[in-house]
Amino acid sequence: MTGKPEIFNTDQGSQFTSQAFTTVLREAEVRISMDGRGRWMDNVFIERLWRSLKYECVYLHGFETGSELRAGLARWITYYNTQRPHSGLAGRTPLEAYRQIGQSDHGGHAHHDLMIKQAA
C-alpha cells in the first residue's frame, strides 16, 4: 500500500482528463484508465471511499488551513486503511485484506474482481 500505483482509474471528469493531470501521471509512468461515459459502476469502490472520507472526516472537522486539512486527511486515510473494518472485506481492514492476498493465490485476479464475482 505504498509507492507509486501501476494504474490510475477514474471517470471522465474534467479534473481527470485535463492535460495537467494526465501529464503528471504520464511523467510518473502511471498507466491511465478511464471508465466509459455513464459507467458509474466501474468506479463504485472509489466512490464509496470518497463518500466515507467526506462524511467521516471532512464534514465533521472545521479545517481552517490547507495544512490542517492535509494532516486530517492523512490521519483519516491511515485509520481507514489500518483500523476501520469494512463489511465488503468481511470485517477486515484494507491492510489485512491486502496482506492476505499476498499470502494466497487468486489466479492473478485483483481483490475487487473477486468481491464482484462473490457478490454475483
Mean pLDDT of 10-21: 85
Helix (H) or strand (E) holding 8: strand 7-10
More confident residue, 55 or 113: 55
Collapsing DSSP states into helix, strand and coil, what is residue 104? coil
Q: What is the mean pLDDT of residues 6-33?
A: 89
Q: Is the pLDDT of residue 13 over 50?
A: yes
**CB burial string 11-40: b at 16+ within 10 A, e below:** beeeebeeeebeeebeeeeeeeebeeeeee
Q: Which residue has the higher pLDDT, 1 or 77?
A: 77
The pLDDT mean for the chain works out to 82
pLDDT attached to residue 110: 52
Give me the percent of the chain exceeding a pLDDT of 70: 78
